[in-house]
Chain A
Amino acid sequence: MTLETVGFWVVAVVLLASSLAVVLTPNLFHAVLYLAAALVATGAIFLLLEQPFLFAVQLLLYAGGVVTIVVFAIMLTERLVGERIRQTSRHLINGAIVAAAVFAGIAGFLLQAPLATPRPGPAPDATVAIGRALVGPFAVTLELLAVLLVTALLGALYFARGEE
């Protein structure tokens, strides 16, 4: 087993365990911390695929940004409500069945289509390709996303604005 394979299994175990912990722990704050761990582990998968750019973006946006905002939300709401909010996960068994079915479906699909030829490795520097794609074929998508974010921002402002 190469070092890379060992690394993959370690990251995979961490990723699965922390993802499960996100939905199973009753403590909301712990759930966010497990989420941070899961997002960093996802970044590590990108690193194993030799895509350091995606790794850095994953860390910056998700682990650094999204988690921060979620924590902020929890801290603010708990202060407003004045008590600890518990996470309650209902329908655990049904959820597990659905998840297992999805896993079986994807695994079956992947096993049915074995990779006949070894795929060419990823481009050595995908950063340039990603940049060109964002201002080229996906320029409209990118701008639409920006509009969506501005709309969300305006909506948040509307709700946060006090009575005048």
Chain B
Amino acid sequence: MTSVTLPPVAWHAIEAFIVLNVLLGLVAYVTLLERKFAARMQSRIGPYYVGRPHGWLQPIADALKLMMKEDIVPTTSDRAVYNLAPIVFLVPCLLIFATIPFAPALGVADLNIGVLFFLAVSSLEIVGLFMGGWGSNNKYALLSAMRAVNQIISYDLPFIFAALVPVVLAGSMQMSAIVTAQHGLWFVAYPVIGQLAFVAFLVATLAAENRVPFDILEAESELVAGFRVEYSGMKFALIQLAEYAHMLGTSFLGALLFLGGWLGPGPAALGPFWLLLKAMVIFLLVTWVRWSFVRIRVDQILAISWKLLMPATLLLLLATGLVVATRGAGGG
């Protein structure tokens, strides 16, 4: 194939570098997509003037602006923790893409514990979040971090249970094996179990990403902007980047687990395109909910998780186990 002889480690590094950069570009443009979508829902136009006619250059302009802004460190902050927090927050959000295959054998690493790796790494995100909340030494930031910890403890388990339903149906934690198992039938179309799991996955996703109606931790009217209230300039940009990267990663996960991943009509080379399209469908579903609903109270959030979502997903997982035990694994 190629005359260049590099050690395999170097190839992996190059591959990871390319994936990372494509993703960062994608994340930037996902923000534009969300803004345009939200504008449409509210009968506005959205970004327009930077890169006419539809604001194509807006993400780049935003990034440049944030880079040139003053970097403010509050005098009473815990400096080291405050400065490290955006990085600790960002790293897990980018690491989750390590196990996401974009087509058969096209991805950084198709681990045989892919789904578990995704869940484990994204659970680390909370460390960066409360570092930011605590390090700022601001009562709003601290309150927000406490709410975040509260919410993430509550919604981690339903999220994991919902994501485990396709794992049990496919009989594997490997992303590519889960997609292959959906050749006959996408898991979202699996009778009853598929739809319920998909809805639970979406709700838990909304909560895990702290989106409206679950965004009490950055409730503008009471907490200003939550744990990131003291951040400015590039550090603020890193936090935003991490949030959108996490959202994009979860959309990819949903597309792989429920919507058949890269399966679709046409030649196999179209695989990444189908995957991206499905991930964007999930992203827009989440965005649609975000811009349609109102924020709910903290006790309602906890009640939904512990009294409804948790028992429901647990029962669903048990039911899936029963179905697989009687009918055998696979999407047929």
| A contacts, CB < 8 Å to B | 3, 29-30, 33, 36, 40, 52-53, 55-60, 63-65, 67-69, 71-72, 75-76, 125, 127
Contact = CB atoms under 8 A, between A and B. Distances in A.
A30 B81 contact: yes
B120 A125 contact: no
A60 B120 contact: yes
Given A40-B124, A52-B113, 11 more contacts: A30-B81, A33-B131, A56-B121, A59-B121, A60-B120, A64-B124, A68-B127, A71-B149, A75-B142, A76-B146, A127-B113
Contacts of B232: none
A36 B89 CA distance: 13
B329 interface: no
A2 to B, nearest CB: 11
B117 interface: yes
A71 B128 CA distance: 12
A60 B81 contact: no
B134 A53 contact: no
A144 to B, nearest CB: 20
Contacts of B120: 55-60, 64
A69 B127 CA distance: 11
B116 A68 contact: no
A56 B153 contact: no
A52 B117 contact: yes
A29 B134 contact: yes
A63 B127 CA distance: 8
B126 interface: yes
B169 to A, nearest CB: 17
A72 B78 CA distance: 18
A58 B142 CA distance: 27
Nearest to B142: A75
Interface residues of B, number: 27
A68 B117 contact: no
B152 A127 contact: no
B195 interface: no
A52 B111 contact: yes
Contacts of B131: 33
A29 B156 CA distance: 23
B280 interface: no
B124 A127 contact: no
A33 B78 CA distance: 13
Contacts of B146: 72, 75-76
11 contacts: A33-B81, A52-B111, A56-B120, A58-B120, A60-B116, A63-B123, A63-B124, A68-B149, A68-B152, A71-B149, A127-B112
Interface string B143-163: 001100110110010000000
B81 A52 contact: no
**A-B pairs, 5 with minimum CB distance:** A64-B123, A59-B120, A56-B120, A60-B120, A56-B116
Contacts of A52: 111-113, 117
Nearest to A64: B123
A64 B156 contact: yes
B22 interface: no
Nearest to A63: B124
B141 to A, nearest CB: 12
Interface in B84-119: 111-113, 116-117, 119
B269 interface: no
Given A3-B9, A52-B111, A71-B130, A60 B153 contact: no
